[in-house]
Amino acid sequence: MCLAIPGRIVELLDENDHFAVVEVAGVRRKINVDLLKQEGVRPGDWVLIHVGFAMSKVSEEQAQAQLRLLAMLDEEAQAVEEVQGYRFD
């Protein structure tokens, strides 16, 4: 089970910046970005995601390193499966 999955913000979905579309290994899903409201997020930012919530911002280098680690541990498919389960509709 993955604790936090890195994803890249593709789009902010509302004017209050509550939700964003994030991409993880080619899969796009809606996530909640409220926890980063003070810090602010924008398209192109990398975030660590846990159960559909962006928990913190990370650099692209950190995100890529974590994605490589998931692949080496053969956890990448499980991470993508988790992302596919996010629902905020």
pLDDT for 43-60, tens place per residue?
999 999 988 899 999 999
For the domain that residue 51 is a member of, what is the CATH number?
A: 2.30.30.140
User: Which domain does 26 fall in, by range?
Assistant: 5-84
75 in Cβ contact with 2 (< 8 Å): yes
Structural domain includes residue 89? no
Tell me how many domains the chain contains: 1
User: Global pTM?
Assistant: 0.78
Structural domain includes residue 34? yes
Find the length of the chain. Answer: 89
DSSP 4-29: -EEEEEEEE-STT--EEEEEETTEEE
pLDDT for 9-36, tens place per residue?
999 998 777 999 999 878 888 999 999 9
**Residue 80: is its pLDDT beyond 70?**
no
Structural domain includes residue 17? yes
Structural domain includes residue 79? yes
